[in-house]
Structure formats: C-alpha cells, structure tokens
Amino acid sequence: MTRAPSVQEVLPPLPVVDPGATTDLIVAFIRSQMDQTGFERLVLGLSGGVDSATVAFLASRAVGGDNLMAVRMPYRSSSADSEVDALRVVEALGCRTERVEITAMVEPMLAQVPDGDGRELDVRRGNVMARQRMIVLYDRSVAFDALVAGTSNKTEALLGYGTLHGDMAAAIQPIGDLYKSQLREIAQHLGVPAEIIAKPPSADLWEGQTDEGELGRTYDALDRALFALVDRRWSVERCVAAGLERDLVEWVAARVARMEFKRQPPPVAKVSLRTPGIDHLYPRRRPGSRR
Amino acid sequence: MEYRIALVQLAPILGDLDANLELVTDRLGQSVAAGADLVVFPELALTGYLLQDLVPDVAMRADDPRLAALSAAAPGVLVAIGFAEETRAHRYCNSVVLLRDGELLGLHRKVYLPTYGLFDEGRFTRAGHQIRTTEVGDPLHRIGLSVCEDFWHPFLPMLQAQDGASLLVNVAAGPARAPGSAAGTAAVAGWHKMQETYALLGTVAVAFCNRVGNEEGLTFWGGSRLLGPDGSVLAEAPLYEEALLVGVLETDDLRMQRYNLPLVGDERLELVRREIDRIIAERAGVPGPIEEPHDGALGTLSSERAEREAGRA
C-alpha cells in the first residue's frame, strides 16, 4: 500500500526568493530612485509590523539611519506591543523617529459624520485612520525634505487589502513585488528583530485583529494561490487539480480582478489628441523630473 | 595575434544624452588606456532604455557628428555603441553603430523588438530590416552586430556567421527578474547557453555587453561576457555592478577552430533556402516548389505521390 502524500508534497509551492540578491536589488533601486528624484531622505510609517520594519531596514541600508525618519502613528486602540516593536526597529537602525498620535485627528471626523455602526463603522474607521496616517506622512515628508517610502507588499496589492490614498499612497514601493511569505525571509536576512517576524500580521485597527482572521485565510494559502494564478498564470482548475481548495482559489481570483481599480490610476475620458496615461507616455524619472 | 576587447558595463542616465556622451567618452578613454582594439557599449547606452515618448527627443542620425567625434577621440580603435536612431526617413530605431576614426563602418537596427511581458519596444520604435556584417579589416575581417532580443532568434547569429563574421557583438539592456531564484537564474542561464551555442556552432567569438543600473522599477543585470570561437568563456563581468571588462581574443584560435570544426564551411545554404522558401510558401497557402523525384529510399513520400512521380518518370 502506498503512503498518502503529505500536504507539502501536494500543494503548489510558495514563491521562493533569494534574500541576498533581492535585498541588494531593492537597496540599489531605492538609491537609484533617490538619485533620480534629487532626494536624500526617506520617511515612512513604522507600525511595528514586519512590512514596515523590513522597509525601514532596506531604507536604512540605502540612505543611512540619519536620513530615515520613521513616524510612529498610534491610535487609541493600537496595541502597546506594536509601539515597543517599532522602537526596537528604531534602536536597531539608529534612525530618526517621531510620534504623532492620530486619535485626536480621527475621532472628530467620525463624530462629525456619524454614519453606520458595527462592521461598517470599523471599515470607515480603518480607512480614515489609514488616510490620516497618509496625511501625517506627507506632511512630515515636507518638513524632513524626504520621499515617502511605501510599505505595501504584493499579497496586499493583489488582494486590494489596503486603503486607496491611505497606506497605499507612496512615492516608491520597495517591497511591492514581494509576497508576504517572501518578506519574512528578507526580514530575517536583514536582521529584523525576531519578535516582529514571529508575531501574527495585523493591521492593528482594533484589538485582536489579525490579517489572517480578517481575510479568513492564511497568508501561506493565499500566497500559494496568488503565485499559481498570477505569476505562473495557472487556471483555477489547474490550481484545484494541484491540491488547492476550490473556495480559496475562486475567492482569490475574483478578489484580484475586483481590486484591479486599486492598482491603477483612474481612467481618463479621452477627448484630446494626446492624453496623459493613454498616448502621452513618459518614464516617471526623466530629464526635468528631478527637482 | 592578441585582440583586446573592452566591454563597458555602465548605467546610462535615462533620457540625458549630454550626460551619457560624457560618461561614454570617459569610459572610452579608460578602455583605450587599457589597450583595447574594440570597445563595446550596451544597447541604448547614449539614451537609457525605458524612453517611451522620449524617443524623438533623444534620437540621432547614425552619421551624427557627436558619434563621429566620440570615435575620433580613440584613433584606430573600433567602437560599437547602442543609441536611439532617427533615420533620414524619420523612422525611429533601436540601433548600434560600429565606428573607427570618426567613420561609420557599420549599422544594425534591432530586428526583433520585444513587445510582450515587461517589454513594450514595438510601441515606440520600428524594427530593422537587414541582418548584415561589417568589414573591419584584419584580423577579425567581419563583425556581426545585433541588439539584445535579436540573439533570441538563432537565424540572426547563424546568418552573420555565414556572412563571414569572426566576431558577433550583441549589445543589451537585459532587465532582471526574480534575482537569485530558479526563474531568475534560468533567464541568465538562457543567455549563457545561447552565447556558448552560437560561438560553438558558428565558430565565432561572441562579445555580449549588457548594461546595469535602474530605470523606474527595472534593474539591469550586467554580466557581460567574451567567448572564444569554441564557446569557452574568456572574460566575464560581475552581475549588477558597473565594470570595464577587457578580454583578450587569440585570433589564431579562430583559425584552428575553423579547421577542426568546419561547420560554417559545411553549411548547405541552398538546401536551407529551399526549405525556408517551402515553409514560407506553405504558410501562405500556396504550393511549394516542385520537388525533384524522390528515390524512395527514405520512404517519406505518400503512396499517391510516389505513384504519380513513378508515372511521370
């Protein structure tokens, strides 16, 4: 009698990554972007999670701790542990840091426009918080004379698990092509504190929230499905035949399609002979674009 | 005799012709100081790669005085360099020129413009229509120029070998994908395999000059290489870093390799052309040229056709 294959042998693989080569590439990318835009400094929101910690380590390698401003922006319900972890990163890197609590900015907005409750209010609050943090970051970027480094990863971008004009707003996206499961390896390679890598990923919008709880799937399963569907261009049927659950694959495929709007600039109604984004096409960094 | 080839693995500044001319002039000077007989710069070295609608702003004629002046600054040295070309008829091409003493010796316009995946070249430039080689005198005799994607089409280097090239020069702007992973390594390995295969089967030396640096989200991987006419690697530049690689080609090796392995001389171009003509005709839905009566030894003719031909005989 043959032994039933174990789960690992059956499922489509997680995307692999070479942490050394990938880190070198991203650091060179950041330096090149600084050079091409004429900036020397970066600012980012440091939550204490693995994504922003990883970007902070990459940014610090690229521009140095003195040229990096990590802004901590807790809300009244934010976990105290998150801030402890954020400070671990600041200490490890010797970068600059500021604390701007957003509670007093978010509450009046929600109080002035009271609408919805329960889950709906949670979503509204989460969006207002994310957008308020964006306002703080862009404000601090002027004072610190810096570009805003984004901390969105590929899993989030594909699933649209982020707030448009909120946490998705940035001048550059250093980890935007790395899946969550790949990020942990990069984080380890960079020396991100183990506590940060080990804890369950969370948007920390309310107490006890975890990404995996909210998405209803593990990042491991999501990344396997995304890697198969997106990078390898497998059909849903092939993913299912390869051992992924049909519900998961169909949900992921539908979500990737539905969230396309978050990944692209909005469509422009073409009325002229030459239209930005349609037939007026230029590289973002070009002569004259450097400040 | 020893022939020294410099491969200048640099990072041009996107869209900045003046800055790139300065950069290239500087590296050319260093190459000449290193004793180079031929200096190769990457694809679009004078303009950068992701030009999009900048093409008409930075394109120049192949006989542009700036190119001539660049070459004239290195007397007696061959210079191959990629640039955005505007032809006299205002066609915009991704081209490479071969110059010496300010004189334009050869020109190749990229024949295969990748317009798939992350590439969008066919949107902004037009394809070339010639696959030629350039007479450069002894000891190399003829050089075949090509640009990046051209090398993924094996007819091109093999035609150039048949056309008398002793050296194939491919200038490139190859973007990295999934660095270090199996997929990323496979892309680089693909380049290596093809270079080694063309060198071996064409019994030609191969000079591959790939750029480095970043444009938008792309990172170019470098890894420029010089191969001997037996496919062996004579010199190799690092990945991702700027480098000035000087390799030495022993031209006697070419002579003996072509005696030992006379593949180029044994090629049957008439046969190849007949079969290509047939494939083209069949694809177009017209009957191929009438074949000579088959002796039947291979038994490949259909019985009906064999009968017909037997009747005709």
**Chain B closest-CA separation from residue A79 CA (Å):** 35
Shortest distance, CA A189 to any CA of chain B (angstroms): 14
Dihedral (Cα; B87, B91, B93, B99), 10-degree rounding: -10
Q: Where are the domains of chain B?
A: 2-263, 269-312
Q: What is the tens place of the pLDDT at every residue in B208-267?
A: 999 999 999 999 999 999 999 999 999 999 999 999 999 999 999 998 999 999 999 999
ipTM of this complex: 0.86
CB contact under 8 A, B180 and A283: no
Q: Within the 32-71 window of chain A, which residues sit less than 8 Å (CB to CB) from chain B?
A: 32-33, 36
| pLDDT interval class at B313 (50, 70, 90) | very low
**pLDDT value at A267 more than 70:** yes
Catalytic annotation present for B193: no
Q: Over 70: is that where the pLDDT of B300 sits?
A: no
Sign of CA dihedral A215, A219, A222, A226: positive
Strands A146-148 and B133-137, how do they pair?
unpaired
Q: b/e string for B53-66 if b means 16 or more Cβ within 10 A? A: ebbeebbbebebee
Rounded CA gap, B124 and B49, in Å?
11
pLDDT at B308: 55
pLDDT of residue A1: 45
User: What chain A residue is nearest to B16 in terms of C-alpha separation?
Assistant: A287
Sheet holding B92-100, edge to edge: B103-109, B92-100, B78-86, B38-40, B2-9, B243-250
| Both tokens assigned to B219 | 């990172």
A275 CB within 8 Å of a chain B CB: no
Q: Find out if CATH 3.40.50.620 is the number for domain A16-215.
A: yes
Are B53 and A280 inside 8 Å of each other by CB? yes
- The alpha carbon of residue B238 is apart from the nearest alpha carbon of chain A, in Å, by 13
Min mean pLDDT across A119-123, A223-227, B26-30 is at A119-123
Catalytic, B2? Answer: no
Whether the pLDDT of residue A89 is over 80: the answer is yes
Q: Render pLDDT for B250-285 as a digit per residue (tens, 0 to 9).
A: 999 998 999 999 999 999 999 999 999 999 999 998
**For A203-236, what is each residue's pLDDT tens digit?**
887 777 888 888 889 999 999 999 999 999 999 9
Minimum Cα–Cα distance from B14: chain A residue: A286
pLDDT at A52 over 60: yes
**Is A281 within 8 Å of B52 when comparing Cβ atoms?**
yes
Options 3.40.640.10, 3.40.50.20, 1.20.20.10, 3.60.110.10; which CATH number does B2-263 get?
3.60.110.10
B14 vs A21, A28, A285: nearest CB: A285
Pair of tokens at residue B133: 């080689």
CA-to-CA separations, A24 to A33, A176, B3, B219, in angstroms, rounded: 14, 15, 35, 11
Instruction: Provide the shortest C-alpha distance from residue B97 to chain A (in Å).
Output: 25
Nearest to A83 by CA among A200, A239, A196: A196
For residue A208, count CB atoms less than 10 angstroms from its CB and return exposed for 0-12, middle for 13-18, buried for 19 or more: exposed
Cβ pair A283:B214 closer than 8 A: no
At residue A70, does pLDDT exceed 70? yes
